[in-house]
Amino acid sequence: MSQEIAVIGSPDFTTGFRLAGVRKCENVPDEQKDDDLDDAVERVLEDEDVGIIVMYNDDLDHLSRNARTAVETSIEPTLVTLGGGAGSGGLRDQIKRAIGIDLMEEED
């Protein structure tokens, strides 16, 4: 079974992923993030087809403590954050954890 990528964030953030073929996008306009972001995260966490959740790093600040803990500690699906501050590093490790292999590993 193939695992899908889901993207959660503002329409500006999700549009590029949608154009790249990501079908599962939860659009939450910036002015609604404090109210609607938790619901979007919960919907994606409950979707058994999703293996990786992509979010903009700064959007994590708009989540309630419970939603943030749930998405950050989830093994499957795995959260990958992009952009933002220093907490967004380790993309390679996050992808490796999500799919079980290191895509960027150099062969000898």
Residue 108 placed within a domain: no
Distance from chain centroid for Cα 52: 6
Structural domain boundaries, residue 45: 4-99
Instruction: With a cut of 60, say whether residue 103 has pLDDT above it.
Output: no
The tally of domains found in the chain comes to: 1
- Taking all residues of the chain, what is their mean pLDDT, rounded to a whole number? 84
pLDDT of res. 89: 47
Residue 107 placed within a domain: no
Residue 61 placed within a domain: yes
pLDDT of res. 36: 96
Instruction: With a cut of 90, say whether residue 4 has pLDDT above it.
Output: yes
pLDDT band at 20 (very low <50, low <70, confident <90, very high): confident
The length of the chain in residues reads 108
Query: Distance between CA atoms of 54 and 5, rounded to whole angstroms?
Result: 7
pLDDT of res. 87: 46
Residue 73 placed within a domain: yes
**Model's pTM, two decimal places?**
0.77
CATH number at residue 87: 3.40.50.10580
Residue 92 placed within a domain: yes
Residue 45 placed within a domain: yes
pLDDT of res. 40: 97
Q: Is the peptide bond before 29 cis (omega within 30 degrees of 0)?
A: no
Query: How is the beta sheet containing 4-9 ordered, strand by strand?
Result: 24-27, 4-9, 50-56, 78-82
Residue 33 placed within a domain: yes
Residue 104 placed within a domain: no
> Which of 4-13, 41-50, 59-68, 85-94 is predicted least confidently?
85-94
